């Protein structure tokens, strides 16, 4: 159902049966969601929705640290410069300025709430990572920074009586009435019950979409749900072609990819090809500390040249006691797979890691759909441009989570929420419910297509093939489903198609987006952002789905999808 027809239908509906009630709805429970909920709780009742367990967020797995200009050798202007440079000319400088200027206050706030960051001699132990010109990475317990930040934010949220947390509740879709987001359709994963949860404002903090790729460092729940539901509701998605591939994920045929923090290279780790040769000096003057997109493609090139499936990360020349103390989680994980990183080279290869694109927002987290706000990896404020600077993501969640909450409360105070009647959950179903035949197989096929055709290196032929297959899957999934697995697969296909269409549209290489058929990023008109929205024309009666419409957000000129 199109946003326009959905709006018309909802305006004629009656109110749903009484369910949980709140002034504000936060979908997702990572750093951005928790910080938003804490801010919102000062102004009304808040419900946080999380599919699965409340601790199943990408934030909790963040190892390297949080970048912030707090050291004596650093300042916000240098942090801004490093971020913009890493973004390859496509950062929105005003968004970056907000990030680096408000970041220190957000970190100090965490410290007052009980965050314990690592110290040496009574001072914070700042580390350096790739593309940072200063040591500005705060860490906790060596390589458990995200875990520590989530711990502190969870504890603070529990102290706020106005926050209610509903775990194992999957958000099926956003509810739009009279052109405004007014809540969400929710599935109770335990009972199977579906209900409408109304709210004055909704904040999406659902994280990324790494699971659309066969190799990813993201947890299993990173299926792009927030991007998909925002897209279906009529919101604009931006820069969906920019997917960051982390250079060093553990490569073992019998294990899932496990992130080996960039901080390892920051502490002196080296990259060697299958022959044992150091190679990064051939690709960039900064060697192993080059920006992530360059390191990832260098590894890809070495793998192709040596016909291997991995390279090696070598820290055997570093002090063993230091490695165990600095990277306890990574050390113990490698040992579980019979790799002692203090004595052996670690097999690594690139994996999908972070979405720079997402739901387009302004500097306060407002999307193009009134009543809907977004923060964190699901959002695209322009902070990251074409390539995220390492360790800026946790800071982004804190800064823009708080900002989105302030904007949502101001928006709700204007009273625009009070005019519409809401539907029942049945009213939102476009037809009889269905199930996906062999959903696990479809999910696996999707991930292989995305990895092979919309991965680190792209071409027109690969992208045309991907968009065609994704379009066919999308048509087959254009039905209401009743299980989390089926709904996730539907979201993954829809987000995957948006990513592939945007990558096909951008006929140049920049940052994390590399087109082998257009390797030069200095083509005319390259310095623009892609915008994507469902075509507002009626659905094709044969194909039964709306085509994505990709446009340049600076010129407004549409190009065919």
The residues that are catalytic are: 292
**What gap in Å lies between CA 120 and CA 286, rounded to an integer?**
27
For residue 462, the Cα-to-chain-centroid distance in whole angstroms is 24
The rounded distance, in Å, linking the Cα atoms of 81 and 389 is 11
Structure tokens at 72: 């004596």
Dihedral sign (CA 106, 108, 111, 115): positive
Do 82 and 286 form a contact (C-beta atoms < 8 A)?
A: no
E runs forming strands in 309-457: 311-314, 346-355, 358-360, 372-374, 379-380
Residues 6+ apart with CB under 8 A from 148: 115, 116, 117, 140, 141
Determine the Cα–Cα distance for residues 369 and 512; give it in Å rounded to an integer. 28
DSSP state of 286: T
> In whole angstroms, what separates CA 308 from the centre of its chain?
29
Bridge partners for 510 per DSSP: 513
Angle ∠(303,314,279) on CA atoms, nearest 5: 45
CB 127 within 8 A of CB 137: yes
Rg (CA), the chain: 23
What values do phi and psi take at 533, rounded to 5? -150, 150
In 199-326, which ranges are continuous DSSP H helix?
225-233, 263-266, 292-306, 320-326
Q: In angstroms, rounded to a whole number, what is the distance separating the alpha carbons of residues 65 and 126?
A: 9
Q: List 120's β-bridge partners, or say none.
A: 123
């Amino acid at each position: 159902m199109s946003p326009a027809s959905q709006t018309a239908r909802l305006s004629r509906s009656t109110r749903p049966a009484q369910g949980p009630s709140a002034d504000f709805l936060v979908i997702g429970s990572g750093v951005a969601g928790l910080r938003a909920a804490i801010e919102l709780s000062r102004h009304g009742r808040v419900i946080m929705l999380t599919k699965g367990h409340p601790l199943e967020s990408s934030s909790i797995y963040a190892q390297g640290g949080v970048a912030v200009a707090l050291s004596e050798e650093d300042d916000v202007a240098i942090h801004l410069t490093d971020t913009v440079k890493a973004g390859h000319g496509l950062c929105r400088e005003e968004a970056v300025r907000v990030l680096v200027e408000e970041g220190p206050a957000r970190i100090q706030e965490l410290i007052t709430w009980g965050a314990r960051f690592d110290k040496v001699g009574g001072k914070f132990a700042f580390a350096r990572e790739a593309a940072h010109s200063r040591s500005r990475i705060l860490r906790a317990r060596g390589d458990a920074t995200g875990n520590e930040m989530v711990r502190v934010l969870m504890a603070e949220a529990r102290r706020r009586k106005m926050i209610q947390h509903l775990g194992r509740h999957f958000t099926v879709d956003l509810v739009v009435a009279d052109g405004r987001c007014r809540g969400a359709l929710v599935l109770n994963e335990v009972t199977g019950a579906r209900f409408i949860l109304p709210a004055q404002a909704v904040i999406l903090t659902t994280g990324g979409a790494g699971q659309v790729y066969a190799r990813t460092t993201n947890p299993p729940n990173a299926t792009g749900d927030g991007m998909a539901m925002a897209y279906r509701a009529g919101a604009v998605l931006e820069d969906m072609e920019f997917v960051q591939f982390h250079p060093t994920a553990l490569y073992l045929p019998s294990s899932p990819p496990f992130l080996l923090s960039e901080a390892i290279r920051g502490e002196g780790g080296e990259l060697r090809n299958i022959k044992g040769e150091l190679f990064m000096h051939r690709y960039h003057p900064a060697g192993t500390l080059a920006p992530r997109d360059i390191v990832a493609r260098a590894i890809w090139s070495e793998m192709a040249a040596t016909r291997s499936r991995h390279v090696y990360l070598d820290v055997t020349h570093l002090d063993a006691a230091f490695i165990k103390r600095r990277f306890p989680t990574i050390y113990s994980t490698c040992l579980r797979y019979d790799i002692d990183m203090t004595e052996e080279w670690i097999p690594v290869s690139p994996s999908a890691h972070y979405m720079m694109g997402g739901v387009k927002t302004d500097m306060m987290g407002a999307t193009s759909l009134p009543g809907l706000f977004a923060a964190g990896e699901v959002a695209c404020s322009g902070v990251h441009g074409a390539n995220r600077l390492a360790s800026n993501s946790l800071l982004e969640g804190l800064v823009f989570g708080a900002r989105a909450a302030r904007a949502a409360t101001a928006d709700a105070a204007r009273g625009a929420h009070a005019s519409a009647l809401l539907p029942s959950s049945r009213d939102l179903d476009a037809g009889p419910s269905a199930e996906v035949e062999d959903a696990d197989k479809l999910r696996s096929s999707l991930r292989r297509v995305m990895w092979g055709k919309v991965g680190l290196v792209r071409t027109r032929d690969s992208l045309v093939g991907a968009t065609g297959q994704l379009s066919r899957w999308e048509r087959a999934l254009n039905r209401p489903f009743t299980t989390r697995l089926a709904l996730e697969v539907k979201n993954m296909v829809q987000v995957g198609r948006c990513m592939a269409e945007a990558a096909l549209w951008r006929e140049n290489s920049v940052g994390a987006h590399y087109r082998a058929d257009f390797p030069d990023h200095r083509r005319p008109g390259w310095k623009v952002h892609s915008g994507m929205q469902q075509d507002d024309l009626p659905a094709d009666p044969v194909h039964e789905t709306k085509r994505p419409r990709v446009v340049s957000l600076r010129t407004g000129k549409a190009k065919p999808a």
